[in-house]
Structure 1
C-alpha cells in the first residue's frame, strides 16, 4: 500500500477541496437554477442532483471525521510524518478517483440512502455543499495535528469496515471529484456544449 508524507498529503487534499469550491463559485453558482436542474438525459443526474448526492455523504462522514479527530486530540496522539494507506482505503479511493482524462475506472449505482430526489431545492443544495467544503477544509487543517493513520472512521456501507482518517479524507474527496466532473458534464449539456470533454484539468483551471 502507498505511503505518503502526511503534511504533503493533507496540503494536496486541501488544494483539491479549494479547487472544488472554486468550480462551485465560478462555474456553477452563476448559472440559472433552470440549467442546474436540467438532466442531461432521462435518468441522468442534474448538477444539483450531483451535489445533493455529495451532500448526503458529507452529512455522514464529516461528523465521523470530526469525532475521530476529536478523539485524537483528546488522547494527545501526535501527528506522524508518514501516512500509510490501508488496503480498503486505497481500494475505495482508487475506485472513486477519476482518471486524468475524466474517465471513470468503474461505474456503480448509488446506495439507496444516497440517491437524490428528482428536483432538489437548488439554493439549499448549493449552500449546503459550500458549507460542507468549508468544514472539510477546517478538518483537514486539524488533521495535521494528530495521527491520521491510527484514528478510525466507520464507512457508511457498514460500521464493520473502518478506514483510517487519512484514507477517509482521500476517499471522500476522490468521490467529490468524481461527481463534480459529472456535474460539469451535466452543466455543459444544459448549455448546449460538448458534455463529454471534461477532464480532471477542469477542476484545476477555473
Structure 2
C-alpha cells in the first residue's frame, strides 16, 4: 500500500461533502452513537460505486448521457428533500433529548442514499483506483478490491471522527434554541448548495 494512495484517499475523504455533512448533522442531533451509524451508512453507500469502478460499469455513466442525467436528477432531488426535512425539524437535524437512535435502519438507508445517488463518485473511482494499480499487476481485480477496502475504512474512521466531534458540542447546541435554529438553516442551505453543485456537474 503506497503512502501516495493513503494520503490522496485521506484528502478526498476529509474534504467536505454530502457524507461529511450528514454525519456531522447526525452527531449534533442525536449524539455520538448516531454519528457512528450515519458514518456506517455513508461508507456502505460507497460500495456500489467501488464495484462499478472495479467491474468497469462506471464507464456506462461516463458514456451514457441518459444514465448519468437520471442518476444525477435523483441525487439532486434527494438532497433537496433532506434540506426540506431539516427545515421542518423532521430530518437530519431533528434534535431530541434522548440520544438513542430513533431508527438505525433509517439512518443507514439515508446515509447510503446520500452517496449512492451521486454519479460523480462512480466516475471518480473509475479514474482514481487504476492510478494505483500497475500495468503488470498479476491480479488487478484483487488489488483494486484491496484499495477499495482501505478507502472505505478511511472513510468510516474519518466520518466517525467528524461525528463524534460534533456530538461533543451537542449539549451546548440543544440548550440554545437560537443557535439550533441557525444551524438548521445552515445545514439546509448546505444541502441545497450541494444539490446545486451536483445539478451543474458534467460527465
TM-score (norm. length: structure 1): 0.34
Q: Which has the higher helix share?
A: 2
Q: Which has the higher strand share?
A: 1
